[in-house]
Each structure stands twice: as structure tokens, then as C-alpha cells.
A = this chain, B = another copy of it.
């Protein structure tokens, strides 16, 4: 029989094992063990300040908690307990006797869970931001080392206009930067101390919550005990921020899977990113990027699970909230793994400059040709129509617009007269982009500088 902290009440009646297993959360909440010990130490100090523990009792409890930490190395030892909170309390009593029975004075599991989860995320969110920064560093490295490579910019997966490969790569830098900001925003709402809220009404112990806040390093103190014991918005928000970060990486992954096809041929992967086929020996499957592409589902699925669990619950604590443990821990661990794999992968990618350059076909300069007419005074909409005619006529001839003769150009629009010499030069086209944030090499170098500032 599982040891329970309230066993006096139901004594003599054995719980049914299937239900016991169903209720138990010890397998799911052991990841809060470290946080539980820290929160318990702080709480013991708080009780001492409030006069509920003698100096000696406090020393015994702090020593006992340290001893339990050791035992935590063997997770098997925790199996018989209902959850990590009762495990720590009961082991403490086992370890130090009477004084251990005082630790829970005026404290409830509801506030312990909330405190532990927040402590956990206060550690993990900065680590996740760091992992995202590693992805950014890899992106900046890839951009910087290949600053002069040109490629087609795509929209609708159709070739649009020439851009710098570095510009393309940096586009993800900013997406990840927003992801980091969202995590920082979530952290602000995580960084609030619940301890001192009791089960739901507040505590009868005259705890100095400001002392608890300082001991545990929280930025703020919760304002309403009834609210904080049932709030899981901070978990949902963190899962969403991670889901959105991975969603942006799924676009990079999709691109990279495409760019690694024989048809595009823009990227080559280190073998560590790819596997071969069990049946087709010639294949190099871009496994890592395929898994990164699928990864937002992992986070969104967990978000959906917890959102559903919370929907329509009565307020304050309900057991349904126990369902947040697995999504929280696995969501954080999965995100960390995906970010690490993405960063490691980006370091193992080699752009194929020839294939990229070759894809910048003459028709990509149709907009540049429209600009020629605009410069010569033709209203844009008419210039666009003329350039479109050029494409159509060239296609009908079975070629592209570079193959049109001077006469054909003149027939399309008299002002086409002489086409500028560098019109089909990718770099010239790229340099014609003048706005901030554009693919112009100077602007791209500026992006890299700003990116480096953000990474320091």
C-alpha cells in the first residue's frame, strides 16, 4: 500500500491498485524534485522567522532535506509515494523524526505544485532562450561565411527575385529572436511566488512572503491565493511560446528538405544529418530536418492537451490540473532537444553556390525590367503589364526573356529601347534594392552586425 500523508482518515480500507496508479503522479512529477527541496528549505526558513520552528528544528529540517537529495539519485526509492511532495515530507519524517512533521505547517500541496513548477521554469526558460541563441549563432555563421552567394528568393515556391543566400538565412534569425522575446514575456508571468497562499485562502502562519520571495529569487508575489493555486496560464503560455518557436523552425526545415533534393540541389548535408535507406542504397534522407519539420506538433499537441484539461474547470485547484506535469516536462525537454539538433544541423550544412546561381534564371528579372520602364516614366501598372508581355512572348518562342531581341523589346514597349547591360546580373539586381531590411549587401551586413549585438 502506497504511503499517504492523510492515511489516518481512511485507515483500514485498502485502495484499489488500479485507481491508486491512476491517481499517482510520482512518475510524472519527479522532475520537480530539485524545486521541491529548494522550496521546502525556503519554507522552513519562513516558518522559523514566523516563530513556528526553533533554530534547532530548522537546522534538522535543512539537514534532512540535504540527506533526501542524496536519496533522489535512486528514483526507484520514490516509487511507493503518491507524489514528489508527499515523498519529500514522509522521507524527511523518516530521516529526522518529529521536527519533520512541522514542515507542512500552514502549507498545502496546491501551492507547492505551483511553486515548484514556477521554480522549474525559472531555470528552464533561460536555458531554452540560450538554446535558441545557439540556433541564431549557427544562422549568423552560415550567413557570414557565405555572404556573396546569390539564390532565387521564392514566394509560392516559385522563383521570384534574386537575393543573397545570407539574407535568406538571416530571415530565420529574426523569427527566432521573436521566439526568444515571447519566452522572456512568458517568464515574467512565471516569475511570481505562490508560496504563502495555503490551500486556497492564505495561510494562518504569519509568513513574511517577501522573505520567501527573496530566498527563492522570484520577481513578484502573487496577489490572490484563490487565483494562484489554480492558475496554469503560465504553463500554457510557455508551451505556446515553444510551439511557435518550433513552428518557425519547421519552415526552415521544410526549405532545407526541399533544398536538399536532387531537383533543387542547393544544400549538401553532412552525413550525420542524413540516413540512407534500408532498401535503396543511393539515398541520403534528410532525417534531422524532417524531424524538425514535424516538431511543432509535439508542442502544440501538449498545449492542446492542457488547454482541454483546463477548459471549463471550476476555479481554484482541481485534480485535473495534475495533467500539466507530463506536457510541461516533455514539452520543455523536447523543445530543448529540437533546438540543439537544429543548431548542430545548421553547422553541418554546405550551400552549393553553383546550383543556387544557376537557378537565378533570366525570367527572375522581369520586375527589374518593369522598373526600367518606371524609371523612364511609365506608370508601374503599365510597366508591369509590358514586362508580363515580354515573359509571355519569350515563352511562346520557347525561351526566356534574355533571348528577346532589341526589336522584340521595342515592339513590347517603345520605351524598352535599350535594355541596361547589367539587367540580368543577379548582384546588380540585388544592389538595386534600396530599402532598409532589403537584400542589398550593405543592408545584409547591417543585419549581421545587429544580430551579433543581440547575441552578446
Contacts and interface: CB of A to CB of B under 8 A. Distances in A.
A1 B369 CA distance: 29
B308 A300 contact: yes
Contacts of A427: none
Interface stretch (A32-40, A63-71, A289-297): A289-297
A56 interface: no
A31 to B, nearest CB: 17
A198 B161 CA distance: 10
Given A277-B6, A280-B199, A104 B381 contact: yes
Contact of A207 (B272, B297, B318, B435): B435
B437 A6 contact: no
Contacts of A276: 6, 9-10, 388
Contacts of A14: 272
A269 B367 CA distance: 22
Contacts of A345: 19
B435 A198 contact: yes
A129 to B, nearest CB: 15
Interface string A62-85: 000000000000000000001001
A361 interface: yes
B313 A174 contact: no
A287 to B, nearest CB: 5
A150 to B, nearest CB: 11
Interface string A370-401: 11001000011110110111111000000001
Interface residues of A, number: 197
Interface in A146-163: 153-163
Given A202-B439, A272-B13, A171 B312 contact: no
Interface centre among A16, A22, A361 (most CB of B within 10 A): A22
A351 to B, nearest CB: 15
A357 interface: no
B302 A155 contact: no
A434 interface: yes
Interface in A190-215: 196-207, 209
Contacts of A107: 278-279
B313 A254 contact: yes
Interface stretch (A117-125, A237-245, A403-411, A414-422): A237-245
Contact of A175 (B233, B248, B302): B233
A204 B371 contact: yes
29 contacts: A5-B381, A6-B275, A20-B272, A22-B291, A23-B275, A52-B374, A82-B275, A98-B379, A102-B379, A102-B380, A104-B384, A155-B199, A156-B257, A163-B200, A175-B231, A178-B233, A202-B443, A203-B435, A222-B437, A225-B438, A230-B251, A236-B244, A279-B384, A281-B388, A282-B364, A290-B319, A291-B322, A298-B323, A301-B304
Closest 5 CB pairs of A and B: A202-B438, A301-B305, A297-B308, A101-B379, A290-B319
